[in-house]
Every structure is written in structure tokens, then in C-alpha cells.
């Protein structure tokens, strides 16, 4: 393969570096509001959950386990068992292909992927033959209306091992809270996870530029590259919209045809779970059941892509005897496809058109 992998890592707007080191003693202290009655939103590190949580500091007589931002808390207290893992990039990065990254994809052809997007803001009205048809139309409406916020990519080899140094890349795209549509609860969740939307507005990557680079990167259209994901209909929807520069296809069949062209081999961990006894829940819950330690903040695409890749290989070992039937499992996305849901009515056909319910706009076909 002569195509160089376009890499995007010269100057980063923020880099999450997780290294082997002893955790500072102050990170083991409990959160302490103190006796004063001021209200300063702060973060503390919880050594039990291995996460930084928000609390209110009163203004006096606190302790060292108090940080102004979640990112500061994570940088100071998170102690992981691996070396550098995540690198976050913004628009000010200079993008250029390097020959070394060609070797990366040849040796590490498994690409775990996750996106962050601004939630669900519209739902379709009408009659649908199956639940899957309704789910796809809902996906299409929202992906067509909205913009991607983050993309995370993690590279692994066939044994689930990562390259030395950086293995996960997180791309922050241009997003403006005053101009772009979003669901309020989704944005609040992302803000609590440490996403800084001001940086997205000022320094976010242009999706069109990124699409040009990704198209020639050597990781799409390639039969020898395996994409790993979790409940990934929307993830691939946003990628396809970005790569094609067009709205998603009108039908689910055409959508899957397009997925097959750009991503010939994909596995959805959530779909694989249907064959894994007692394995249930979202990505965080599944990872805990599989005893996988998170690296980086939850609900950020770089960290979630890494956890997705690790979960896939752990499941492959524990539930599939290290061999997953490609014909049976590849190409399926959980929640989409004729076999994903039973046929039946959905109760939307009599809803009024153009009403707002629970901050969700319903659109008629």
C-alpha cells in the first residue's frame, strides 16, 4: 500500500499524557467544602471511581484535592498503567502525511472509532414498516441537521496491542454553541466531561479539510483495515456525511451500501454483545464487567475509542475463543438493520406536526 496515512499531530491544542507514576498524596484526600459559605464550582479526584467529580468549595479551609477544571484534575491525579496514550488536535495543527504513519496502519490495521455529537434534536413522524426503519430515519434526520463535535481513532494490531507512544487521536471539530443546533442535555454532559466548546469555536478543525485528508489516509476503502465501534450507527453516519459532503441516503439499504464502500470490515461491540452471556449496558458498564481500566475522561471520543478497542479484544478472547465469524458479525450496526428490532407500529403517525415535546422537534414525512 503506497498511500500515506495522513497524520494530524504537529502542534496540539491540548494533549492528555498519561504516564506511569505514583499518584500525588493530595489526590487520595476526600473532597472538602470547608466552613465558609462561598460557592466555587470545583473538581476533586475520587480514588475509588478513578474519575474527577464536581463539588462546591466554600472558599476556605479546603485541601489539596481541589481543582478549577476537570482537565487540571485529570492531569494531576490520573495514574494509569500505560505510557502516553491520547493526543488531541485542533485546527491550528499543521496537517501533513508522514511515511512513518504508513507503517503504522500496516502493523496496526484495527481502528477503533468513536464520535461525540450534539444529541438528538428531531424525530420523524409517519408510518414505518419496522422499528429499524424508524430508527434509521431518526438517525438520518439528526445527522443531516447537526454537526460532529469530536472524532476519536485508536490503532491496534491483531492481538489488541497498541503502538508505543501515542495510539489514540482525538480530533476537535469546529462547533459554535451560538450558531449550531444541539440538544441541551447532550451539551451539558459533554461540558461536564471536559469538552471546551470555546476552543471548538475558535480552533476547531474544518470537517471538509479533515475529510480530504481522511479520504487519502489509507484507512478508508481498505479491505485490510478493520473498524471497531460501539452502538455506532450515528458514528458512521457522521463520518459518511463528512467524507461524502452529502446528506445521508434516503434508505437504510443505501446507507449500508455506502458504509460497506468506505468501511469494508466493521464490528459493532454492542452488536457482538448479543452473543455474550450476561454482558450488558453501555460502554462504561461493559468495560467494567470486562475489567478494563479507562484511560482519559469518559464521554470524550479519544478515550472512548480506546475503551471500545480494548473491549472488542477482551470479548474476542473471553466469548469467541479468539475467533469472530466475519460472515456472521461483520457489517452489522446495533439498532439498525431488519434483524435489529421486531416489526410493528410505533405510535407516531397521529402526532401533531411541528410540535415541541421534551425539547425535541418532530418532523413529518
pLDDT digits (tens, 9 = 90+) for 96-147: 444 455 567 889 999 999 999 999 999 998 888 888 889 999 999 999 999 9
Q: Report the pLDDT value the prediction gives residue 167, as an integer from 0 to 100.
A: 82
Mean pLDDT, residues 181-200 taken together: 93
Q: Are 187 and 38 found together in one domain? A: no
Whether the pLDDT of residue 356 is over 70: the answer is no
Whether the pLDDT of residue 8 is over 50: the answer is no
Residue that wins the pLDDT comparison between 106 and 158: 158
Residue 35 belongs to some domain of the structure: yes
Q: Are 341 and 202 found together in one domain? A: yes
Which residue in this structure is represented by grid cell 471548538?
A: 200
Whether the pLDDT of residue 87 is over 70: the answer is no
Residue 194 belongs to some domain of the structure: yes
Q: Are 102 and 60 found together in one domain? A: no
- Structurally, how many domains does the chain consist of? 2
Mean pLDDT, residues 250-275 taken together: 96
- The model scores a pTM over 0.75: no
In the listed set 60, 77, 94, which residue is the last one of a domain according to the structure?
77
What are the pLDDT digits (tens) for 73-86? 877 886 432 323 45
Q: Are 62 and 92 found together in one domain? A: no
Q: Are 174 and 47 found together in one domain? A: no
Residue 19 belongs to some domain of the structure: no
Q: Are 38 and 97 found together in one domain? A: no
Look up the domain containing 88 and give its range.
Answer: 6-14+83-364
* Among the ranges given (121-135, 137-151, 238-252, 279-293), the one the predictor scored with the smallest mean pLDDT: 121-135
- C-beta separation of 222 from 15 below 8 A: no
Q: Are 247 and 170 found together in one domain? A: yes
Mean pLDDT, residues 27-36 taken together: 92
User: Average pLDDT of the chain?
Assistant: 81
In the listed set 36, 52, 77, which residue is the last one of a domain according to the structure?
77
Whether the pLDDT of residue 329 is over 60: the answer is yes
Q: Report the pLDDT value the prediction gives residue 306, as an integer from 0 to 100.
A: 94
The domain spanning residue 31 has which CATH number?
A: 4.10.410.10
The domain spanning residue 202 has which CATH number?
A: 3.30.420.10
Q: Which cell is 24 given?
A: 500525588
Per-residue pLDDT band at 22 (split at 50, 70, 90): low
Q: Which helix (H) or strand (E) holds 71?
A: helix 70-77
Q: Are 91 and 72 found together in one domain? A: no
Residue that wins the pLDDT comparison between 8 and 210: 210
Q: Are 52 and 100 found together in one domain? A: no
Residue 221 belongs to some domain of the structure: yes
Q: Report the pLDDT value the prediction gives residue 365, as an integer from 0 to 100.
A: 39
Residue 140 belongs to some domain of the structure: yes
Residue that wins the pLDDT comparison between 320 and 103: 320
Residue 120 belongs to some domain of the structure: yes
Q: Are 270 and 322 found together in one domain? A: yes
Whether the pLDDT of residue 263 is over 90: the answer is yes
Residue that wins the pLDDT comparison between 53 and 243: 243
Q: Are 64 and 157 found together in one domain? A: no
- C-beta separation of 52 from 45 below 8 A: yes
Q: Which cell is 254 given?
A: 443505501
**Alpha-carbon distance 262 to 222, whole Å?**
8
**Alpha-carbon distance 151 to 214, whole Å?**
12
Residue-wise burial string across 190-208, b where 16 or more C-beta atoms lie within 10 A, e elsewhere: beebbbbbebbeebbbebe
**Alpha-carbon distance 287 to 339, whole Å?**
26
Whether the pLDDT of residue 265 is over 90: the answer is yes
Residue 1 belongs to some domain of the structure: no
Q: Are 89 and 55 found together in one domain? A: no
Residue 262 belongs to some domain of the structure: yes
Per-residue pLDDT band at 91 (split at 50, 70, 90): low
* Among the ranges given (29-38, 68-77, 353-362), the one the predictor scored with the smallest mean pLDDT: 353-362
Whether the pLDDT of residue 5 is over 70: the answer is no
Amino acid at each position: 500500500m503506497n498511500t500515506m496515512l495522513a497524520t494530524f499531530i504537529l502542534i496540539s491544542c491540548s494533549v492528555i499524557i498519561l504516564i506511569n507514576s505514583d499518584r500525588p498524596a493530595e489526590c487520595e484526600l476526600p473532597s472538602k467544602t470547608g466552613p465558609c459559605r462561598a460557592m466555587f464550582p470545583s473538581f476533586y479526584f475520587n480514588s475509588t471511581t478513578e474519575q474527577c467529580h464536581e463539588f462546591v468549595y466554600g472558599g476556605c479551609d479546603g485541601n489539596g484535592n481541589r481543582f478549577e477544571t476537570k482537565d487540571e484534575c485529570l492531569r494531576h491525579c490520573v495514574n494509569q498503567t500505560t505510557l502516553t496514550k491520547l493526543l488531541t488536535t485542533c485546527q491550528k495543527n499543521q496537517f501533513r502525511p508522514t511515511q512513518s504513519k504508513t507503517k503504522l496502519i500496516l502493523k496496526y490495521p484495527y481502528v477503533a472509532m468513536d464520535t461525540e455529537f450534539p444529541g438528538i434534536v428531531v424525530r420523524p413522524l409517519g408510518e414505518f414498516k419496522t422499528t429499524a426503519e424508524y430508527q434509521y430515519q431518526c438517525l438520518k434526520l439528526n445527522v443531516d441537521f447537526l454537526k460532529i463535535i469530536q472524532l476519536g481513532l485508536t490503532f491496534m494490531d491483531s492481538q489488541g496491542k497498541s503502538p508505543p507512544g501515542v495510539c489514540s487521536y482525538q480530533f476537535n471539530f469546529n462547533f459554535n454553541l451560538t450558531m449550531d443546533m444541539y440538544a441541551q442535555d447532550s451539551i451539558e454532559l459533554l461540558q461536564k466531561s471536559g469538552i471546551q466548546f470555546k476552543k471548538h469555536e475558535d480552533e476547531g478543525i474544518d470537517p471538509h479539510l479533515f475529510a480530504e485528508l481522511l479520504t487519502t489516509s489509507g484507512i478508508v476503502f481498505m479491505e485490510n483495515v478493520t473498524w471497531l465501534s460501539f452502538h455506532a450507527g450515528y458514528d458512521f453516519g457522521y463520518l459518511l456525511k463528512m467524507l461524502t459532503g452529502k446528506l445521508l441516503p434516503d434508505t437504510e439499504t443505501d446507507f449500508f451500501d455506502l458504509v460497506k464502500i468506505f468501511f469494508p470490515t466493521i464490528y459493532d461491540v454492542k452488536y457482538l454483545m448479543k452473543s455474550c452471556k450476561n454482558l450488558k449496558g453501555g460502554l462504561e458498564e461493559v468495560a467494567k464487567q470486562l475489567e478494563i481500566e479507562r484511560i482519559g475522561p469518559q464521554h470524550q471520543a479519544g478515550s472512548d475509542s480506546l475503551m471500545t478497542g480494548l473491549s472488542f479484544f477482551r470479548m474476542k478472547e473471553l466469548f469467541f475463543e479468539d475467533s469472530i465469524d466475519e460472515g456472521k458479525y461483520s457489517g452489522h450496526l446495533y439498532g439498525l438493520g431488519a434483524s435489529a428490532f421486531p416489526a410493528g407500529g410505533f405510535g407516531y403517525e397521529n402526532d401533531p406536526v411541528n410540535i415541541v415535546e421534551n425539547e425535541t422537534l418532530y418532523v413529518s414525512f
